[in-house]
Amino acid sequence: MSGVFQPAVPISGYGGWKILENTAARQQATFEKSPSLQSDIQYFYYNIGKATTPEALVSDRRLLSVALGAFGLDDEINKKAFIKKALESKTYDPSSFVNRMNEPRYQALAKAFGYGDGLGAFNVGRPVFQDNIVAKYKALEFERAVGDVDNDMRLAMNFKRQIGDIASGSKVDSIGWFQIMGQAPLRELVSTALGLPSSVAQLDIDKQKQIFEQKADQIFGSKSPAIFTDSSKVEDVIRRFFLMRQMQNGPTLSTPGAAAVTLLGGDLGSDATTNLLLSQA
C-alpha cells in the first residue's frame, strides 16, 4: 500500500527516535488521510462481513491484505494454505496448529477472527470487530511508511509494540527467546542491542537461546524476556539498538560521547569506544 503522505524523520539514531515518538500521533493522523489507505479501509468495511469462513477470507486478497496487515503479517500473504490452517485452529486448544506454532501474531489473528472457535461468522459482521481490525491496520501501515523513510525506526516501533505480549506470556521463560529469534525484525533489533554477531544465527537453536539469555543477563540484569514488561528496560533496549547501530556505521558529531572519542583518537579499542559512547547516553 503506497500513500501520499511520507512520515518525517529529520535525523537518524536515538535522537530521531525521540522526535518520532513526540510527533507520531500527529503524523499518523495525517497519514491516515492518504487516499490509498482510505480506499483499502473502505473496501474492508464493505466486504468483510461476507468473509464468514477462512476460505472466503483467504480467497479475497485485498481483504486478506488488511487482515494480515493488522497483525504485522503482511509479508505472509502468499501462504494461503498456511493462513487458512491457522484461522481454522481452535484457539482454546493448546494442541491446535496455531498454538503449537508459538507465533504471537498468528495466535492473535486466529483469536480475533475466531473461525476455529465457531465465532467467525458472527465476529466479521460486528462493527466493534471491524473497527478494531481497521485501527490495528492503520497503526501498522504507519509503521511501514516510517520504515520506508528509516527502517531502524520501524524496527524500534515494531519492538515496542510487540515485546509486551511476549514478555507477559505465561511461557515466557521457555519460549520467549524463541519467539523473539523467530521474527526477523525483533531478532535484528534485540541482537543488535545485545551486540551479537550475525554468525550466532548459524548455531544450534538452543545454543542461540543460551547466548541471548547470557547477554541479556549481563546487560539488562535478567535472563528472562519477562524483564521487558518494564517500560524502562524496553527503552534501554531501543537506546542501545540505536547506539550500537551508530557504532556499526561510525559515530557522528551528534553521537553522545563522540567528542571524547575524537579527542582520545586511536588510544581506544573498538570495544572501549562502544562502551564509552553507550555510557554517555
Model confidence at 258: pLDDT above 60 = no
Range of the structural domain that residue 240 is part of: 166-249
Residues, the chain? 281
Please tell me whether residues 52 and 143 are part of one structural domain: yes
8 Å CB contact between 252 and 245: no
Say if residue 13 is exposed, middle or buried (CB neighbours under 10 Å; 0-12, 13-18, 19+).
buried
Span 101-107, mean pLDDT?
A: 90
Whether residue 190 lies inside any domain: the answer is yes
Number of domains comprising the chain: 3
Q: What is the pTM of this model?
A: 0.82
- pLDDT over 70 percentage in the chain: 88
Q: Do 243 and 271 sit in the same domain of this protein? A: no
Residue 3: inside a domain: no
The domain boundary residue, chosen from 149, 178, 207: 149
Mean pLDDT of 133-153: 97
Cell of 130: 471491524
5 found inside a domain: no
**Are 180 and 226 part of one and the same domain?**
yes
The reported pLDDT for the residue numbered 182 is: 93
Q: How confident is the model at residue 261 (pLDDT cuts 50, 70, 90)?
A: very low
Query: Are 97 and 193 within one domain?
Result: no
Residues 144 and 215 in one domain: no
Q: Looking at the domain assignment, is residue 156 inside a domain?
A: no
pLDDT in tens, 3-58: 468 899 999 999 999 999 999 999 999 999 999 999 999 999 999 999 999 999 99
**Which residues touch 183 (CB under 8 Å, ≥6 apart)?**
105, 162
Task: Show which of 149, 177, 209 is a domain's final residue.
Answer: 149
Looking at the predicted structure, is the pLDDT value of residue 270 above 90? no
Average model confidence (pLDDT) across the chain:
90
In angstroms, the CA 97 to CA 82 distance is 10
Q: What is the pLDDT of residue 129?
A: 98
Q: How confident is the model at residue 102 (pLDDT cuts 50, 70, 90)?
A: confident
* Same domain? 19 vs 141: yes
Question: Can you tell me the mean pLDDT for 102-112?
Answer: 93
Q: Which pLDDT score, from 0 to 100, does residue 248 have?
A: 85
Is 41 inside any structural domain?
A: yes
Say what the pLDDT of residue 170 is.
Answer: 87
Residue 255, pLDDT > 90, answer: no
Sign of the four-CA dihedral 86, 89, 92, 96: negative
Taking 70 as the threshold, does the pLDDT of residue 65 lie above it? Answer: yes
Judge if 210 and 172 occupy the same domain.
yes
To which H or E segment does residue 184 belong?
helix 184-193
Same domain, 31 and 120: yes
pLDDT at res. 249: 83
Predicted local confidence at residue 24, as pLDDT: 96
Q: Is 53 domain-assigned?
A: yes
Instruction: Annotate 85-129 with DSSP letters as a single string.
Output: HHHTS-TT-TTSHHHHTT-HHHHHHHHHH-TTTT-HHHHTT-HHH
Residues 117 and 44 in one domain: yes
In this structure, the number of other CB atoms found within 10 A of the CB of residue 59 comes to 13
pLDDT of residue 273 exceeding 50: no
Instruction: For residues 142 and 238, state if they share a domain.
Output: no
Residue 270 within any structural domain of the chain: yes
* End-to-end Cα separation, the chain, in angstroms: 37
**Local confidence band at 131 (pLDDT 50, 70, 90 cut-offs):** very high
Output the pLDDT for position 241.
98
Per residue in 175-214, pLDDT tens?
999 999 999 999 999 999 999 999 999 999 999 999 999 9
Tell me, yes or no, whether 7 lies in a domain: no
Q: 25 and 135 in one domain?
A: yes
Of 103, 123, 149, the residue that ends a domain is: 149
Q: Are residues 265 and 231 in the same domain?
A: no
